[in-house]
Amino acid sequence: MRLIKNGYLYQVTFMASVFPVNCYLVEEEDGLTLIDAALGFCSKGIMKAAETIGKPITKIVLTHAHEDHVGALDSLKDMMPEVPVYISIRDHRLMNGDRSLDTHEDQTPIKGGVPKKLTTRANVLLKEGDLIGSLTAIETPGHTPGSMSFLDIRTKAVIAGDAFQTRGGIAVAGDMKPWFPFPAFGTWSKKTALASAKKLISYEPQLLAVGHGEMAVNPLRVMEQAIGNLERKIG
């Protein structure tokens, strides 16, 4: 487990050199909000990170329902049964194993796995603009139909889940990066992801924090580049 701090945000990374999977702890006055739950073996590392920071985890927020983002959720809930879990209304369906699409959505199959044995369900279903402590929920569909990003209103840090990746070079969800193609393999709709990437730019983030790869400081220029790259491919 590797822990990197930037302002109120702590990036917790597992398997940093091989297949990096990040989750995040956002510091609030009275505790920590965990964003995503990494892989099954990560619960001890996540608890250790919170212990190092010195505050309890009081909320668990999920960017989407894929297995590398909900893996440790059941074991974390065993350790902290009182902590509420948040996910978007739309990805709660995916969490329940429902892979159906709505008529207004891009009619292409949802990709990527939700763990079959996952028993935890969300307590709070999120929609655009909801506040979770200092975080605003922003609907950024594309990687999955219900993918959500979170903007820290104190710092303009954006925790984008897999709406972007930075491992293997910065990319919008669905844009295949040969050195780390896995987020692209798991992406549902490139054109929806592209629209969401543009939406994130409009918040002028000061920091971009993603599921796979390092955090990017002052990321606007590289986000614009990544958008241009995917736009040229799917034009």
List residues near Zn ion by CB under 5 A: 68, 162, 211
Nearer to Zn ion, 27 or 36 (CB): 36
Distances (CA, A) of 58 to 35, 86, 109, 141: 11, 11, 35, 26
Least distance between Zn ion and beta carbon 183 (Å): 6
Whole-angstrom Cα distance, residue 122 to residue 94?
Answer: 12
Which residue number places its CB atom closest to Zn ion?
Answer: 211
Using an 8 Å Cβ cutoff, are 156 and 207 in contact? yes
Nearer to Zn ion, 39 or 49 (CB): 39
Least distance between Zn ion and beta carbon 103 (Å): 27
Nearer to Zn ion, 134 or 189 (CB): 189
Provide the β-strand partners of residue 150: 137, 159
Residue 17 makes CB contacts below 8 A (sequence gap 6+) with: none
Nearer to Zn ion, 28 or 210 (CB): 210
Tokens 């983030």 sit on residue: 205
Least distance between Zn ion and beta carbon 30 (Å): 29
Least distance between Zn ion and beta carbon 134 (Å): 24
Nearer to Zn ion, 211 or 219 (CB): 211
Least distance between Zn ion and beta carbon 193 (Å): 13
Type and span of the H or E element at 79? helix 73-79
Whole-angstrom Cα distance, residue 186 to residue 196?
Answer: 16
Report the half-sphere exposure of 170 (CA within 13 A, side-chain side). 20
